[in-house]
Amino acid sequence: MSDRVEVRKTYKLFVGGKFPRSESGRSYVPAAAGGVNVTRGSRKDLRDAVTAARKGLPGWSQSTGYLQGQILYRLAEMLETRRRSMVDEIGGGPAEADAEVTAAIDTITYYAGLPDKLPSLLGSQNGVSGPFFNFSTVEPTGVIGVVAPDAPALAGLMALVLPLLAGGNTVVALVSEANPLPGLALGELLAVSDVPAGAVNLLAGKREELVPEFAAHRDLDGLLLAGAPAAAPSAAAADSVKRVRYAGADAAQWSLAAPPGVAWVEPFVEVKTFWHPVAP
Amino acid sequence: MTDAPKLASERAAQADPRTLRFGETWAYAAAPEGTDHFEIAERYGLFIDGAFADAAQGATLDTLNPASEERLSSVACGGEADVDRAVAAARRAQPAWAGLPAAERGRFLFRIARLLQERAREFACLETLDGGKPIREARDVDVPLAAAHFFYHAGWADKLELAFPGGRPQPLGVVGQVIPWNFPLLMAAWKIAPALACGNTVVLKPAETTPLTALRLAEVLVQAGLPAGVVNIVTGDGTTGAALVRHPGVDKVAFTGSTAVGKEIQRALAGSGKPLTLELGGKAAHIVLDDASIDQAVEGIVRGIFFNQGHVCCAGSRLLVQESVHDLLVEKLRRRVERIRVGNPMDKNTDMGAINSRAQLERIEALVASGTDQGAKLYQSSCALPDRGYWFRPTFFTEVSQSHRIAQEEIFGPVLSVLTFRTPDEAIEKANNTPYGLSAGVWTDKGSRILWLAARLRAGVVWNNTFNRFDPGSPFGGFRESGFGREGGRQGLRGYVQLDGELLGA
């Protein structure tokens, strides 16, 4: 490398399709991120992100499954072409980082093929004892908060966010605290993947500070967290009857394993059942 | 909208020349159902490990007939020690129950369904005496549906792999279930049948004011030869239910009841990782568009709010009427409500029975008073009410605005709030403007409009040109603060199995 003074990037939040700094004016230098400045999100940033996700919900959830699938596939295309920079952002051993990018791409393509199958897989026509046409379909739960694991920083985030998007939800995700670069870099891919503004919002910051705010936010309809079940967020989430799930403590295992079918989609979609009389 | 009532009624009469005016010429003679074919014991114990026993502390509760305020019986009031004993019995019984050939588990459920059908009249009478609902509803809805739930889930027992392809469904273990007083037997069936079909064992806590049909169901379980401990029934009050849902030996909790208690349970289970399903309150929007068949809609509205005295979590308690048909519809509704027969629940002609308890009657009265105070216009049937017992007239409010308590809070009684809208978009916005999302109704003649509206209503069940229909094959449950999880249908089994690769619960 020459002795040119290079242009350094600050990694910023991704909210409503834009890349704001934190309203709190704070940043931090994560240990695992090689001395790079990262915007440190606040409670107010979370609120802004939830507002953006709520606003983005009709656009994303009412898109056809076919369109959702194509948009998610476009994200996989973007990540494939950004593989090298993402490997740098993941850091550590390059081979391992490269494998993680591959796993993330595979996760995306798996879920890209899912949205238009959900009505068949999770819905049903129901036999009832009477002259009624009765069927059930699934709709997204709404705006879901995600707390990603520290590592794998990219594949862990993808494993949690993708099933939610495939179900038609919009997402506010807190990326890895130890290494937020891959998570925030994902925003730069989302911004050019035709994913509508607000469908995915990415925050970086301190888990200790922000997880309680996620849990207490009344306009989040659900929470999907890395790690083992924990009392505090679950208890706070009960105030608005949020759907809460935990992915388990072994993030390396569930981030890199093949996606578990619809098992991670199902807790964040709502079954809606229609009745209509049948008469001449 | 501001026409004088007289003018509105004249217009309505013109619009509907077929109105028949019977006056009092068609009064019904009394037709009470006989009760000489069964006995109610003086006292009932807890049903634990296949036998009835008193509560460890010896505590009891009286259960009343809400239509007469007379004591029917006393039941044991279970405490922590009793819950402990019941959970232990369920735990002991679970491996053998799950280990039975699935078809045999199913055959026990088939037997229970048949026994319920054979003893239908006794169950219907007991339900009506203990809960106050009209015998016609207990006989035609509660008991047949309870039997149907057992029959339906009997057939799932040996087909679970078909319900969850590749999921390798496994039972959860011991399930703690707490049910409400509005459909006591039906809720017991609704909870027990899927749990057993999936290989779990059960500790059920019936509601404080309506324990008798669950205890009689225990007799049926014995008659069916169900192994001891597979189902345990612990009667009691709120503290009994709290002890059950918090018991460390319970692997899954299923609750039907109020949103406030549901939140307490969700909090109590926080961090446990235990699966939880909640079927909570509602404030259903019932939407009538201008092209709807108004006469049919009025029947649906009456069924939606006055069925079971309005003690229905999915009751159509917020009527949203398109402005252009409001006056006509309200006039027809007023006439129809005037003809609802309120009185002795055991009478086969009765349309609306007694309010379940004094406490519930007081809650209804307080919310209705708030409606009047906040400026809504009250209409009540002029029907005569019995001297004793807990009664409330069929009631509706017009000129209700969205901020009124009667438009936001669940009344759980025979009280309808009527609001208006101009466009389908406005109907959706108003319909979704509560924290609840259990059910909704739509009346219109146009299929594309039905599907458009139904897709935008944030509710787990949408009844189109009908209301308050239930079937064991039809998934039931809510969005948002109406709870999570479904009961009934293939989707309802999900709450009672563990699948490969699933996320961890709360």
Active site residue B313: yes
Question: How many alpha carbons lie under 13 Å from residue B488 in its C-beta half-sphere?
Answer: 32
| Cβ-defined contact of B481 to A248 (cutoff 8 Å) | no
Residue A232 amino acid letter: A
Mean residue pLDDT of chain B comes to 95
Question: Which has more pLDDT, B15 or A98?
Answer: A98
Contact A246, B264 (CB under 8 A): no
| Cβ-defined contact of B505 to A244 (cutoff 8 Å) | yes
| Cβ-defined contact of B473 to A132 (cutoff 8 Å) | no
Question: How many alpha carbons lie under 13 Å from residue A227 in its C-beta half-sphere?
Answer: 18
> Can you list the positions of beta strands (E) in B45-173?
46-48, 51-53, 60-65, 70-76, 170-171
pLDDT level of residue B1 (50, 70, 90 thresholds): very low
Q: Residue B76 to residues B170, B212, B220: CA-CA distances in angstroms? A: 34, 11, 19
The structure tokens listed for A275 are 């009745």
Q: How far is CA A198 from the centre of its chain?
A: 11
Per-residue pLDDT at A31: 79
Q: First vs last Cα of chain A: how many Å apart?
A: 80
Per-residue pLDDT at A3: 85
What pairs with residue B379 in β-bridges? B396
Over residues B310-331, the mean pLDDT reads 97
Does the model's ipTM exceed the 0.90 cut?
yes
A 85-124 → B contacts, CB under 8 A: 122, 124
Q: What is the CA radius of gyration of chain B?
A: 23
Question: How many alpha carbons lie under 13 Å from residue A48 in its C-beta half-sphere?
Answer: 20
**Which among B185, B409, B190 is positioned nearest to B308, based on CA atoms?**
B185
Between CA B506 and CA B177 the distance in angstroms is 17
Q: Measured between CB atoms, which of B272, B483, B501 is closest to A263? A: B501
Residue with tokens 């014995």: B222
Per-residue pLDDT at A35: 76
Judged against a pLDDT cut of 50, whether residue A163 lies above it is answered with yes
Over residues B305-323, the mean pLDDT reads 97
Judged against a pLDDT cut of 60, whether residue A1 lies above it is answered with no
Contacts of A133 (CB under 8 A, 6+ apart): A274, A275, A276, A277, A278
Residues of B in Cβ contact (< 8 Å) with A231? 270-271
pTM for the whole thing? 0.95
User: Assign residue A34 a region: left if phi > 0, alpha if psi is -120 to 50, beta otherwise?
Assistant: left
b/e burial code for range B379-408 (CB count within 10 A of at least 16 → b): bbbebeeeeebbbbbbbbbbbbeeebbbbe
The structure tokens listed for B146 are 């309870």
Q: First vs last Cα of chain B: how many Å apart?
A: 49
Q: What angle do CA B96, B98, B104 make, to 5 degrees?
A: 90
Q: What is the pLDDT of residues A12-43, one digit of tens each?
A: 999 999 999 999 999 999 877 677 899 999 99
| Cβ-defined contact of A266 to B263 (cutoff 8 Å) | no
Per-residue pLDDT at A8: 86
**Which among A270, A278, A277, A275 is positioned nearest to A134, based on CA atoms?**
A275
Per-residue pLDDT at B265: 98
Q: What is the pLDDT of residues B396-447, one digit of tens each?
A: 999 999 999 999 999 999 999 999 999 999 999 999 999 999 999 999 999 9
Please identify which of the residues B313, B314, B331, B410 carries the catalytic annotation.
B313
Contacts of B146 (CB under 8 A, 6+ apart): B116, B123, B185, B186, B188, B189, B190
| Cβ-defined contact of A276 to B450 (cutoff 8 Å) | yes
Contact B342, B383 (CB under 8 A): yes
Please identify which of the residues B127, B279, B410, B481 carries the catalytic annotation.
B279
pLDDT level of residue B20 (50, 70, 90 thresholds): low
Give the residue from chain A lying closest to B454, CA to CA.
A274
Judged against a pLDDT cut of 50, whether residue B210 lies above it is answered with yes
| Cβ-defined contact of A228 to B435 (cutoff 8 Å) | no
The structure tokens listed for A88 are 């740098």
Q: Does A268 touch chain B (CB under 8 A)?
A: no
Q: Does A29 touch chain B (CB under 8 A)?
A: no
Per-residue pLDDT at B24: 67
Q: What is the pLDDT of residues A102-160, one digit of tens each?
A: 999 999 999 999 999 999 999 999 999 999 999 999 999 999 999 999 999 999 999 99
The structure tokens listed for B336 are 């129809």
Three-class SS state of B43? strand
Contact A101, A79 (CB under 8 A): yes
**Which among B279, B152, B492, B459 is positioned nearest to A275, based on CA atoms?**
B459
Active site residue B77: no
A124, A241, A274: best mutation site toward chain B, by most B Cβ within 10 Å? Answer: A241
